[in-house]
Chains A and B, each alone.
Chain A
Amino acid sequence: MIELERVAYSYGGEELFTDVTLSLAPGSFHFLTGPSGAGKTTLLKLCYGALIATSGQVRLFGENTRKMDRDRIAMNRRRIGVVHQDCQFLDHLPIAENVALPLTVAGRGDEADAYLDELLAWVGLSRQKEQLPPELSGGERQRAALARAIIMSPEVIIADEPTGNIDWEMSQRLLSLLVELNKLGKTVLIASHDLALIRAAKAQVSARVLRLKDRKIQAAEVDL
């Protein structure tokens, strides 16, 4: 689905990481961990085409991101659901419209009614659907972001520190939603430095853990 081949990324003349090779197979569950500033977010951005690798190749669904134009990248984002660290909503629109936004911008806004209520119920936000994003708690925002990420029924779900600002109970709930999606066949990639969360996930699903450290990526085989 997403393949990185000897990828390096430099920022301001400084190499963030180099020689990263990684392949996300359909239905796999990956964690990306590592110290802050190691480039986890950058690596995720390479995976959904928000950044282009300095060297090496990134292929989304077999297509090299370097050769995609902006429209092609937009089309690919409709197949990859992304949950951002800081969620990123349109603060003047209610949650329901924010969650339906991917359908709206794809010109399929009329389909939203069919899944929206069910989806909001699944993430436990039925009561909040008419509220504005700033009125929601951190956990509610993360769940709304997840609902938005999956409304297009993407093949891949990428989440950047989805449990960064929420309490343990809420992060468990979010994790179980992601595990559930993985069991439905979705490929999942989560960047997190929350080791407890990773341990909890490994109990529920066979997750691979990748560690980004010292400008390299390594499989963390040892028990965390």
Chain B
Amino acid sequence: MSAVERIRAVAMLFGGDRQADRAVPPTGFTARLTIFTAGAMAFLAVFVLALSLTAGRVAYRWTEELARTSTLRISAPEGQVDAQVQAAIRVLETTPGVASARALTDDEQRALLAPWFGPDLPVGSLPIPQLIEIFEEAGGYDATGLRARLQAEVPGALLDDHARWRAPLVAAAERLKLLGYSAVILIAGATAAMITLAAQAALAANAQVIQVMRLVGARDVYIAGAFVRRFTLRALTGAAIGALVSGVAVGLLPELEVAGGILEGIGFSGAEWLWVLAIPILATLVAFVATRAAAFRTLRRHA
């Protein structure tokens, strides 16, 4: 098919030809089924996309933001803690790749423990290790070298560069994102299959109509157009409703603010909302291609 014919085919789709549409008898029940299925698929697609995009954002945040920080834990006998903290900060400040380091205040430590022990924990009177937050420069530091120096100068220090617990979380988020995108592709495939089946059924039911149209000199593109328009518009209607409902549902999901935004609520942010618009358009395209292929396949069997 040449580019011009392709454009004409699309133009015919939206320009419409009431006469050609009338030639194919109307079907109430199967039309509603097609609309419903397209709607359900669009609903799922929007939801899964929201999930994938959220997983992607979480993975990005864990990679980018947490990679820039690490924690030093000082466990020392009472009385030596302050001295060791001072020593550790001195070591850190002279370590290449470390931007800054600071000891957490009692209030901050209490806030960290609050989810587990409640708000009124007397931090000062308990043998709780002191945490030092390290901010890295873009290139990061040499963790092995830093550990060796700390071992020599601050015996009670333990360096945690977050890699150990960050890596599986990032992997999980990445995997979730991948699963989500695979689900979207499967949904698109299932939509194409469903529309093809519906169109195939309509074409078979209307064999007589096709036969008559052929006999009186209708070109294939004209006959196919009547079916393609019908199914494409149904898919568009269904998908628009499904995507809209799903978009509203996702928008109304409760916001999650856990541990300073490390986790976040499922949803779209900013330009990602355009996906809610894109899904019905994609569904329309899928329906167009699927019905057109089915129609021409069927027509080639007619004289």
Whether A101 pairs with B25 at a CB distance below 8 angstroms is no
**Chain B residues within 8 Å of A148, by CB:** 216
Q: From A51, which residue of chain B is reached at the shortest CB distance? A: B303
Interface string of B46-74 (1 = CB under 8 A from A): 00000000000000000000000000000
B218 to chain A, nearest CB (A): 4
Considering the chains assembled together, what is the distance between the CA atoms of A91 and B212 in angstroms? Answer: 10
Interface string of A68-89 (1 = CB under 8 A from B): 0011001111100010100011
**B209 on the interface (CB 8 Å rule)?**
yes
Whether B217 pairs with A104 at a CB distance below 8 angstroms is no
**Chain B residues within 8 Å of A90, by CB:** 23, 25, 208-209, 212
Find residues 90-114 in chain A having any chain B CB closer than 8 Å to their own CB: 90-93, 97, 101-102, 104-107, 109
Using known A-B contacts A51-B303, A93-B22, A97-B22, determine if residue A88 contacts B218 with beta carbons closer than 8 Å.
Answer: no
Q: From A81, which residue of chain B is reached at the shortest CB distance? A: B216
**B213 on the interface (CB 8 Å rule)?**
yes
Considering the chains assembled together, what is the distance between the CA atoms of A84 and B217 in angstroms? Answer: 14
A63 to chain B, nearest CB (A): 15
Q: From A84, which residue of chain B is reached at the shortest CB distance? A: B215
**B214 on the interface (CB 8 Å rule)?**
yes
Most chain B CB atoms below 10 A, which of A90, A101, A105, A106? A105
The one of B19, B22, B215, B299 that contacts A77, using a Cβ cutoff of 8 Å? B215
**B211 on the interface (CB 8 Å rule)?**
yes
**Chain B residues within 8 Å of A208, by CB:** none
Considering the chains assembled together, what is the distance between the CA atoms of A150 and B225 in angstroms? Answer: 25
Find residues 202-224 in chain A having any chain B CB closer than 8 Å to their own CB: none
The one of A51, A89, A106, A109 that contacts B217, using a Cβ cutoff of 8 Å? A106
Considering the chains assembled together, what is the distance between the CA atoms of A196 and B303 in angstroms? Answer: 33
Whether A45 pairs with B303 at a CB distance below 8 angstroms is yes
Considering the chains assembled together, what is the distance between the CA atoms of A172 and B214 in angstroms? Answer: 29
Considering the chains assembled together, what is the distance between the CA atoms of A109 and B23 in angstroms? Answer: 13
Q: From A72, which residue of chain B is reached at the shortest CB distance? A: B219
**Chain B residues within 8 Å of A45, by CB:** 303
The one of B19, B20, B215, B220 that contacts A70, using a Cβ cutoff of 8 Å? B220
Considering the chains assembled together, what is the distance between the CA atoms of A92 and B26 in angstroms? Answer: 9
Considering the chains assembled together, what is the distance between the CA atoms of A148 and B218 in angstroms? Answer: 14
Considering the chains assembled together, what is the distance between the CA atoms of A76 and B25 in angstroms? Answer: 26
**A50 on the interface (CB 8 Å rule)?**
yes
Considering the chains assembled together, what is the distance between the CA atoms of A77 and B219 in angstroms? Answer: 10
Whether A105 pairs with B213 at a CB distance below 8 angstroms is yes
The one of A82, A88, A152 that contacts B211, using a Cβ cutoff of 8 Å? A88
**Chain B residues within 8 Å of A84, by CB:** 215
Interface string of B199-231 (1 = CB under 8 A from A): 000000000110111111111111000000000
The one of A74, A101, A152 that contacts B212, using a Cβ cutoff of 8 Å? A101
B229 to chain A, nearest CB (A): 15
Q: From B211, which residue of chain A is reached at the shortest CB distance? A: A88
The one of A74, A93, A104 that contacts B220, using a Cβ cutoff of 8 Å? A74
The one of A50, A75, A91, A102 that contacts B303, using a Cβ cutoff of 8 Å? A50
A78 to chain B, nearest CB (A): 4
**Chain A residues within 8 Å of B219, by CB:** 70-71, 74-75, 105
B228 to chain A, nearest CB (A): 16
Considering the chains assembled together, what is the distance between the CA atoms of A104 and B22 in angstroms? Answer: 11
Interface string of B279-303 (1 = CB under 8 A from A): 0000000000000000000011001
Whether B216 pairs with A77 at a CB distance below 8 angstroms is yes
Interface string of B16-45 (1 = CB under 8 A from A): 000110110100000000000000000000
Q: B residues within 8 Å of A by Cβ? A: 19-20, 22-23, 25, 208-209, 211-222, 299-300, 303
Q: Besides the contacts A71-B219, A101-B216, what 6 more A-B pairs have beta carbons closer than 8 Å?
A: A45-B303, A71-B220, A75-B217, A77-B217, A90-B23, A90-B209
24 contacts between A and B (CB under 8 A): A51-B303, A70-B219, A70-B220, A70-B299, A74-B214, A74-B219, A75-B219, A78-B217, A82-B215, A88-B208, A90-B23, A90-B212, A91-B208, A93-B23, A97-B22, A101-B212, A101-B213, A102-B216, A104-B20, A105-B20, A105-B213, A105-B216, A107-B222, A148-B216
